[in-house]
Amino acid sequence: MRAGLIWVILGGVLTVGIAVVLLRPSPPILVGFSGPLTGVNSDLGVQGRNGAQLAIEHINAGGGINGRQLELLSMDDGPTAESARDADSALLRQGVVAIIGHMTSNQAIAGLPVVEQHGAVMIAPTVSTPLLTGKRDGFFRLMPDNDSWAYATADYALAQGLKTVSVIYETANQAFAGSFVDGFVTQFEAGGGRLLQRIPFTSAQRDTLEAAAIRAVSTNPDTIVLAASARDTAALAQFIDAHDSPRPVLLSSSWAYTREIFLAGGRAVEGIVFTISYLPDDTREGYLAFRKAYTERFGWEPNFAAALAYESAKVLAAALRRTGGRAQGLREALAAGTPVQGISETVTLDQYGDVQRPPYIVTIRNGEFVSIQ
């Protein structure tokens, strides 16, 4: 009798234990974000992190990945190659299945070997260096390489009748800035334009900005091309305004295409022209819904970095659904070419993890970005 009672009790305890295990929620799937959360490029990093976070909240609200929730872990990738590697290593040690980032080309190139060594993948929202184009590796991106933008910028300059150019570029992000300048000059000269000067500077040495601006205007170019961060582009525009009148047409790379340029540059940045695969005045329903959700969540409007990081997280989630939430097989799932619904249109990565998007010509008018072509 007593033995039977003991077995009944043990059976009940076992049943309760099994029920507790079955009811226990599955652990979250960890996703990393690596980007510049401080410093001169923080306008890209903070918006990128926020965009990824918003996407993850939307994915979780829709049931997550096979019932499991996603959780974003973020690291500041700092200003150096070493800090990029350290950030990625720290995230991978915590068990992330993938890293959304980096936001600048130099940091992505620095961090990619670390990600590859762990067999993980990197999904970069805003990295556009052609040095990573057409390679079968763990690198995937939501932004096309900047050759297409450089060519479109040169074509715009030529169409405006601009014949001579000086270029100023930041050497700290050489993988991006150098390739953009090279692409622009190649296309500009092929169309009959003439390069007057190619002027490097480094943001870490602030006195080099004014010297670069003075040197650029000294030969009276029709246009000056700027490949620098928003803050540095704003400073260069102010220096050029102070040392030349009338001002040459200012053309900028996409790197400066954030609202930080308004805060840093004021009236001096009016009329700067950019080429970017992102419409600032997009009226499509998907973009309007994203902008509303982002603004309500974070208190300010999204920029292109936020939008592309949001889409990066959505692309990752689609791949995770195909792998059952596991890191294993993510590279193949991402390279499969499966269309994923983005904010306003479908996004399709090719077998090399690259993407094609049309370029748009945008300017600053009355303190706002406005598309002009």
Do 224 and 243 lie in one domain? The reply is yes
Q: Are residues 153 and 187 in the same domain?
A: yes
Q: Is the peptide bond before 358 cis (omega within 30 degrees of 0)?
A: no
Number of folded domains that form the chain: 2
State the CATH number of the domain containing residue 163. Answer: 3.40.50.2300
Domain co-membership, 37 together with 125: yes
Q: Using the 3D structure, point to which of 276, 297, 315 is the last residue of a domain.
A: 276
Share of the chain above pLDDT 70, in %: 93
Nearest to 254 by CA among 56, 41, 60: 41
Let me know if residue 56 belongs to a domain: yes
Q: What pLDDT, on the 0 to 100 scale, is given for residue 20?
A: 40
Q: Are strands 346-347 and 340-341 parallel, antiparallel or unpaired?
A: antiparallel
9 pLDDT more than 60: no
Residue partners of 94: CB distance under 8 A and separation at least 6: 30, 32, 73
The DSSP code sequence of 92-120 is: HHTT-S-EEE-SSHHHHHHHHHHHHHTT-
- With pLDDT > 90 as the criterion, what percentage of the chain qualifies? 87
Query: Which residue among 235, 258, 276 closes a domain?
Result: 276
Residue 201 lies in a domain: yes
Rounded to an integer, what distance in angstroms lies between the CA atom of residue 136 and that of residue 86?
Answer: 24
Q: For residue 238, tell me if it sits in a domain.
A: yes
Q: Any idea which of 118-122, 181-185, 279-283 has the lowest mean pLDDT?
A: 279-283
User: Are 169 and 271 contained in the same domain?
Assistant: yes
- Judge whether 19 lies within some domain: no
Q: Are residues 290 and 303 in the same domain?
A: yes
> Which of 176, 162, 155, 170 has the alpha carbon at shortest distance from 254?
176
Q: Are residues 52 and 104 in the same domain?
A: yes
243-291: per-residue pLDDT in tens?
867 899 999 999 999 999 999 999 999 999 999 988 888 999 999 999 9
221 and 159 in one domain?
yes
Who has greater pLDDT, 14 or 108? Answer: 108
Secondary structure, 3-state, 158-177: HHCCCCEEEEEEEHHHHHHH
For residue 22, pLDDT beyond 70: no
- Structural domain of 167: 147-276
Specify if 72 maps to a domain.
Answer: yes
